[in-house]
Amino acid sequence: MYKIAVLPGDGIGPEVIEQSIKIFKILMENEQVKYNIQEGLIGAIAIDLTGKALPDETLDLCRKSDAVLMGAVGHPKYDLDPTAKIRPEQGLLKIRKELGLYANIRPIATYSLLNSCSPLKEHLVRNVDFVVYRELTGGIYFGNKGRNENGTEAFDNCIYSVDEIEKIGHMAFKAARKRRKKLTLVDKANVLETSRLWRETVQKMSKDYPDISLDFMFVDAAAMRIIQNPGYFDVILTENMFGDILTDEASVITGSIGMLPSASVGEKTALFEPVHGSFPEGAGKNIANPYAAILSMGMMLEYLEMTNAEKKIKKAIEIAIQKGIVTPEINPAKNYTTSEVGDWLVQYLGTI
């Protein structure tokens, strides 16, 4: 029996997660697999109800689960208050650290019928398919930070170890081996000492992967290349902050951030979530694109070694998009609600 922790979170999170769970249940029924789902609090809703962005009960639930499926975290009332001591995003950072989720995996793939929605020219995004491996528990986000006594100076330390780099590096090399055998390390080795350590370490590791073509790119050049020629990339490996920025940039080229899933993987468990934020303006309106959350659930099934079910999800979504089963941000003129998209997928999956 699989134990699944579900953290709907804030904004549109509960709505898109609801569709994912509907589809998860029909797939489990088809595969005759037993499961147990338990919900937990995280983010703004958790602060409102418990005073903590990540309650201890939620963390305990996640530790006891085989995988975690999360919606989204964040609310304007905290974003707009610079004096807030507790913020929804602290729950996200803490769960990554406490569960040891050291690798964030974000596939960037385009769909032919959505290419016209991309801000890039259609020929640039045609058949784009790459994946970013972002280190998730080290770097500047987790280094010592603070201010001087009168508050006029601030610092954020960025620290990395060889062990941290090797751990995610091996994952990225192995992923490249299953794809087009090309790995790009993105760093800032011309300026940063931590980047020089990344480059030295990955260069040494490459000797164990002679079949993988390895190249290096400064982060500013990579940011430009993602716009100029996104089809250049196969697997990108990078540190925490660079990965955060580049994956948000890359998410735009697909035509809808609502199409992009992600996984955060650790030694004992993994967390799966859509790349998009909580979109509080759309909460409760039944207009959110649920595909990213559903694809994230598909990545969860693959992690749980239910590859057949994961392939069914991808196929169902491809067919749904071909038939125009999309939400308003993709097709303002003719569209479906969040729940209608979920219902269509459930009906389709019940026939295969």
Is it the case that residue 348 has pLDDT exceeding 90? yes
Q: Specify the pLDDT at position 82.
A: 74
Q: Measure Cα distances from 87 to 30, 136, 305 in Å.
A: 40, 19, 35
- Domain 129-252 sits in CATH at 3.40.718.10
Show me where the domains of the chain are located: 1-107+257-352, 129-252
Mean pLDDT, range 31-39, rounded to an integer: 95
Q: Measure Cα distances from 230 to 219, 234, 246 in Å.
A: 14, 9, 12
pLDDT in tens, 91-122: 998 999 899 999 999 999 998 888 888 889 99
Q: Which range is most confident: 92-106, 215-229, 257-271?
A: 215-229
Give the whole-angstrom CA distance, residue 61 versus residue 160.
30
Q: Specify the pLDDT at position 100.
A: 93
Cite the beta strand spans of 111-204 per DSSP E. Answer: 129-135, 145-147, 154-156, 182-187
Kindly give the pairing relationship between strand 129-135 and strand 154-156. Answer: unpaired
Kindly give the pairing relationship between strand 270-274 and strand 67-72. Answer: parallel
Active-site residue set: 141, 188, 220, 244, 248
Mean pLDDT, range 152-165, rounded to an integer: 97
Give pTM, 2 decimals. 0.89
CATH architecture designation of domain 1-107+257-352? 3-Layer(aba) Sandwich (3.40)
- The helix or strand, by DSSP H or E, that contains position 306, with its residue range, turns out to be none
Is it the case that residue 15 has pLDDT exceeding 90? yes
What's the chain's Rg over C-alpha atoms?
A: 20
